[in-house]
Amino acid sequence: METNVSNEMEKEQQNVAIIKELGQTQVPINEDKNPRGNIHCLTIIGQIEGHIVLPPQNKTTKYEHLLPQMVAIEEDQGIDGVLILLNTVGGDVEAGLAISEMIASLNKPTVSLVLGGGHSIGVPLAVAADYSFIAPSATMMIHPVRMSGTVIGVAQTYEYFDKMQERIVDFVAKNSKISKERFKDLMLDTGKLAKDVGSILVGEEAVSERLIDEMGGISQAMNKLYELIEKQKSILH
């Protein structure tokens, strides 16, 4: 009896540690099947880590874990839909786009919710879902891509930057209702930020720019996800 209690407490502590460290909640299992559909919660937080491991004081989202995890989600019969919670400052372009492409190509309904911030590469991650929400106080910063380290001052460098930017612009335009031209205008706006080029969209602005589908919180996001699950179930049966 005592062992059971201590095991449960240990399990609870482990769950708390997972939420604290990774922001990830327990995957629903078949025995606890929710009649409306089982949801897997994917939390994208902090910086999107690229090929270099970031120092331990950084909160990061690791692509080498998320990519196979999404394959597992796609394969798992017990998961009906995915809720993506975003609070990210952005990060590595390639890693961010890789995760975004995986979300966009998932066969299961996906809903994203931007809380706090969904900046930079967080924008393609947010729009990659089937339906996106933003909290009224959340912000999204859109600005040009950057590079650290030695930059060779030749025309090809600019072309490379432009190509990288184009990949982001194309993805966002394809997966949301904003036009490429408008997104580029926001990205290259010189009148909005004091020390940078770009724009900040707060809650409703992201919706009025047609980047995000709707403003809302967790209940709206969950209801939408259940609605999409229901819709998919009716198509499959």
Partner 1 sequence: MYYTVMPPIVQREEIENTTVPQGKMCIYKNQTIEVVPEGEKFKIQRIFSTDLKAYLEVDLQPGSFIDLSLMEEL
Residues that bind partner 1 (CB under 8 A): 14-15, 17-18, 20-22, 24, 26-27, 40, 47-48, 50, 52-58, 62, 64-65, 68-69, 71-73, 75-76, 89-94, 96, 117, 119-121, 141, 143, 145-149, 164, 168
Beta bridge partners of 132: 112
Q: Report the residue number, 139 or 179, with the smaller CB distance to partner 1.
A: 139
Whether 120 is catalytic is yes
Whether 143 is catalytic is yes
Which of 120, 132, 176, 199 is catalytic? The answer is: 120
Do residues 54 and 47 lie in contact, with contact meaning Cβ atoms separated by under 8 Å? yes
Give min distance, CB of 234 to partner 1, in A. Answer: 26
Q: What is the amino acid identity at position 165?
A: Q
Residue 151 phi, psi dihedral angles, 5° rounding: -115, 125
Q: What is the DSSP letter of 23?
A: -
Give min distance, CB of 85 to partner 1, in A. Answer: 15
Distance CA 125, CA 114 (A): 10
Which of 40, 100, 119, 143 is catalytic? The answer is: 143
Do residues 127 and 172 lie in contact, with contact meaning Cβ atoms separated by under 8 Å? yes
Distance CA 112, CA 129 (A): 6
Q: Report the residue number, 25 or 220, with the smaller CB distance to partner 1.
A: 25
Q: Report the residue number, 45 or 131, with the smaller CB distance to partner 1.
A: 45
Give min distance, CB of 81 to partner 1, in A. Answer: 15
Give min distance, CB of 75 to partner 1, in A. Answer: 6
Long-range CB contacts (within 8 A, 24+) of 171-175: 171/97, 171/100, 171/101, 171/104, 171/124, 171/127, 171/128, 172/123, 172/124, 172/127, 172/211, 175/100, 175/104, 175/124, 175/127, 175/128
Q: Report the residue number, 111 or 121, with the smaller CB distance to partner 1.
A: 121
Pairing of strands 131-134, 110-118: parallel
Give min distance, CB of 219 to partner 1, in A. Answer: 25
List residues with catalytic annotation.
Answer: 120, 143
